[in-house]
Structure 1
Amino acid sequence: MTKKKKKVLTEAQKRELVNKRREATFRKKIRSTFTNMGFISFSTTDKHFKIGYRVVELDYLFIYENVFIIGEDTCGKAKDKDHIRNKSEAFREIKNNMTDFIAWLQHEFPEKKELVQKYRLDRIRLYYLYFSQAQLELTDDEKSLYSNLIFWETDTLAYFNRMSQCIYYATRYDLFRFLGLTNDQIGSSGSAGNKTVIKAPIIYPEDITGFRNGVRIVSFMMSAEKLLKTCYVLRKDNWEESIWLYQRLIEKEKIKKIRAFLANKGSAFYNNIIVALPDSVRFEDESGNVIKADKMGDFQRCSLIIPEEMNTVCVIDGQHRIFAHYEAPENEKYESIIAPLRKQLHLLVTGLIFPDDMKESDRKKLQSEIFLEINSNAKMVPADVLLHIRSIKDPLSDIGIARRVVEKLNRRRTFLNRFELSALDEGKIKVASIIKFALRYMVTITPAEGKMSLFDFWDGDKGALLDKDEEALTKYIDFCARNIDLYFSTVRDTFKEAWNDPTTKILSVTALNGFIIAYNRQLAPNGIRDYSFYNSHLKNLKVDFSKEAFPYTSSQYRKFSSQILTEAFDFTSEELEAI
């Protein structure tokens, strides 16, 4: 018998095969993310149906209780507005014809009829998620045109996929926070209003805690199950766009080891979990009278009342010890052992109670400082995490402002999604050195003597900004990002070939820092100018950004900026010395 000759594929066929595998992996990732969280998946692919004025097909449908999630994936180009517009219109028709939609589901999936008709139409929470295999090249303004869609960027999908692999059903609470859902909106309408009553908590006297800002500290025991249902973590690399994030992602191997320990030993950890308690907690005396936190005496006999509302208890330290108790499918290795332990095991918790009038920025500053103090000696904290925490501790610092400007630039056209702001980002521009060695000096509100920054040219309310007014700070950050984006748009257009070639050095930290420093140094004589001004000057700059020819190293930011100023902005050697 002759051996069958193996078919030789052309290069085009090989590329097509690779693309098909990537697309299959991408779609599997979407589906597994939601099924790992406990959602029921419906096989809707290739099922077309007419609803309203359109014929539609759903790539995905996931249901958990009354939360319905429709998913649409795209493996095409990163900015297909026609595709997005069509899906936005299709979703509008579904929402406007919910009775027909539910009837179609019942007819098409009779085996899941009970699940579909479990809740009244007015109780169903319907969302449309748009997943893109490529990084979506949409600015915030462009996304706002399709506000009925929720765009899941590649890093958002990566985050929820990773979390669902680590802690399974417990990831649902994070998803519900992402969707803005509260307890009373999930399940039956009578599902809210529960509370945990903790008898005889330990309330520490103010004079032994070291706090002089009205913050009170209380310790108590709480079941793992109730902690899972009420807690959330400000992870720096998650889906949120907030300055107040400081914790690292969950480590899968660490969770597995703790879960194995729990299953084998059947006992809880006795070291403290540190949390920030919500403003809704209260104390009651033995007669049921409410006692304000600031009126609590030393170790006073009372009860601590904690509302059982999800995403209200902020975990500062101990997330792995809590989430190792996660709920998983019945066939998970340790679930049958862990399930009763979730209710049985109580963890030692120390909670911070903030004064009602304490600013959010001051609360998060204190939380991040505690996190850093606990963890800095246990494990090396990455440079970007340190920069991020420094920006939380002092939002008006040059580093704090620079960090937020980078986040804003990452959502504007020139640098859209190019910066590495998350541990989930791969192959993007690292920001720590850009902030530390260049950008901080351009956006600082306290430039060194004889120096200038963008603050000198901002015509906003500087007094309010210096008084830490968040609205004024946001306006200044927008001002900085807008002008830096304009400047770099001329760099992009002047060196378009290099900009679009990932093998060149134009988007390296060295080159970007050189351009930033040059921009800052030319502010004194030129001020802030328009696109045509920068364009007319930068075209005189002669630089080969190829990997082999670019002459500057990481320590030569200022040297490169001097070449830019000399060739593009006609600075003399004397002028270079002066700035």
Structure 2
Amino acid sequence: MIEINDECNIIGLIDGQHRTYAYHEGDDIYEPHIAKLRKIQNLLVTGILFPQKESKESRLKFEANLFLEINLNQTKVKPKLQQEIELMITPFSNIAIGKRILKGLNSNGPLSNLIEQYSFEKGKIKTASIVSFGLKPLIKLDDIKSKDSLYSLWENQDKARLKERKSEEYQILNEYISFCITKIRDLLIAFKSELSSDKWETYTPQNPNGMLNVTFINGVLNVLRLLIENNKISDIQNYKEKLKDIDKFDFKKYKSSQYRKMGKDIYAKYFENAI
């Protein structure tokens, strides 16, 4: 026999959450009709009762995996939601790390409150492609085959522990994420300071002068990869000096997935041969 306490947050509902609304006793005109149905309907809901000693992290991972198993075969899960789930299941993956870095960039600095965090937010920068194609190659945990990642630049004697299978080095992970945020933010600050203020806004059909979109952000991240690869990482002031004419650069000619070319062109024009 299973004994379940009559308390809140005892059972985690994984599937059929919306069906539980039928058991809500309302006070509107529909309540008399629903009350009759409530007594004869058996509504199928998938719930989980965890062992008392199960950690919060283990519960989240199990719930997230089960959610994917149930829903991937029914409706395609959107990339943004997949990234949120990966943040819970595999916090040391490149995608999860990139997701946390993007949240950090949104919390303060030149991209403060400009990045979309929730689907109902309008007029903000979309995140899925930035995480997958801009941040993932920049922050990958590799300093052997690749020399253009922030990981290869990071001087931490214990950083290899992040690559261990089932790593739980959360303190080291947090330090790496902070390091990445700082290095990315330094370059973004320089770009913002040298661009006219009307350009440092999100692009929309109503605001065509705005430069902030996925292509621009990924282009800047690719500039940073080239700076790392060519040993040209510097400070904010040095970046500002190099980018003093960036306001004349034609960002608009780069469409959609041309952020790699944008990054190469910016690097070649403003950094490659600069003293």
Give the shorter-chain TM-score range.
0.7 to 0.9
What pairs with 1:73-92 in structure 2 (closer than 5 Å)?
Answer: none
Give the counterpart of 2:255 among 543, 546, 553: 553
Partner of 1:492: 192
Partner of 1:454: 150
Question: How far apart in 1 are the matches of 2:215 and 2:66?
Answer: 34
**Which amino acid is 2:75 matched to?**
K
Question: How far apart in 1 are the matches of 2:175 and 2:36?
Answer: 52
Q: Does the CA-based 8 Å contact 1:390-1:400 persist in structure 2?
A: yes
Question: How far apart in 1 are the matches of 2:64 and 2:265?
Answer: 41
Question: How far apart in 2 are the matches of 1:312 and 1:355?
Answer: 10
Which is richer in helix?
2
Provide closer, same or farther for how the CA distance between residues 389 and 494 of structure 1 changes in structure 2, counting only shifts above 3 A. same
How many percent identity over aligned positions? 34
Q: Where does structure 1 lack aligned partners over 5 or more consecutive residues?
A: 1-301, 573-579
Give the counterpart of 2:180 among 446, 457, 480: 480
Q: Does the CA-based 8 Å contact 1:457-1:528 persist in structure 2?
A: no
Provide closer, same or farther for how the CA distance between residues 553 and 350 of structure 1 changes in structure 2, counting only shifts above 3 A. closer
**TM-score (norm. length: structure 2):** 0.84
Partner of 1:154: none
Question: How far apart in 1 are the matches of 2:52 and 2:170?
Answer: 18
Question: How far apart in 1 are the matches of 2:79 and 2:222?
Answer: 21
Shift of 1:448: 6.9
Larger radius of gyration: 1
Q: Where does structure 2 lack aligned partners over 5 or more consecutive residues?
A: none
Give the counterpart of 2:63 among 363, 367, 384: 367
Partner of 2:80: 384
RMSD of aligned alpha carbons = 2.7
Provide closer, same or farther for how the CA distance between residues 346 and 397 of structure 1 changes in structure 2, counting only shifts above 3 A. same
Give the counterpart of 2:249 among 534, 539, 543: 543
Q: Which of 1 and 2 has higher RCO (CA within 8 Å, sep 6+)?
A: 2
SS of alignment partner, residue 8 of structure 2: coil
What pairs with 1:311-330 in structure 2 (closer than 5 Å)?
Answer: 311-328=9-26, 330=27
Provide closer, same or farther for how the CA distance between residues 374 and 349 of structure 1 changes in structure 2, counting only shifts above 3 A. same
Question: How far apart in 1 are the matches of 2:106 and 2:168?
Answer: 24
Question: How far apart in 2 are the matches of 1:489 and 1:360?
Answer: 37
Provide closer, same or farther for how the CA distance between residues 448 and 516 of structure 1 changes in structure 2, counting only shifts above 3 A. farther
Question: How far apart in 2 are the matches of 1:383 and 1:470?
Answer: 25
1:174-230 CA deviation, whole Å, 9 max, x = no partner? xxxxxxxxxxxxxxxxxxxxxxxxxxxxxxxxxxxxxxxxxxxxxxxxxxxxxxxxx
1:61-99 CA deviation, whole Å, 9 max, x = no partner? xxxxxxxxxxxxxxxxxxxxxxxxxxxxxxxxxxxxxxx
Which is richer in strand?
1
Partner of 2:92: 396
1:15-40 CA deviation, whole Å, 9 max, x = no partner? xxxxxxxxxxxxxxxxxxxxxxxxxx
Q: Does the CA-based 8 Å contact 1:316-1:370 persist in structure 2?
A: yes
1:95-121 CA deviation, whole Å, 9 max, x = no partner? xxxxxxxxxxxxxxxxxxxxxxxxxxx
SS of alignment partner, residue 188 of structure 2: helix
Point out 4+ residue stretches in structure 1 off by more than 6 angstroms: none
1:493-552 CA deviation, whole Å, 9 max, x = no partner? 11133114742352121111111111112113336422112111122434134xxxx111
SS of alignment partner, residue 4 of structure 2: strand
Provide closer, same or farther for how the CA distance between residues 358 and 463 of structure 1 changes in structure 2, counting only shifts above 3 A. farther
SS of alignment partner, residue 309 of structure 1: coil
Question: How far apart in 1 are the matches of 2:25 and 2:233?
Answer: 56
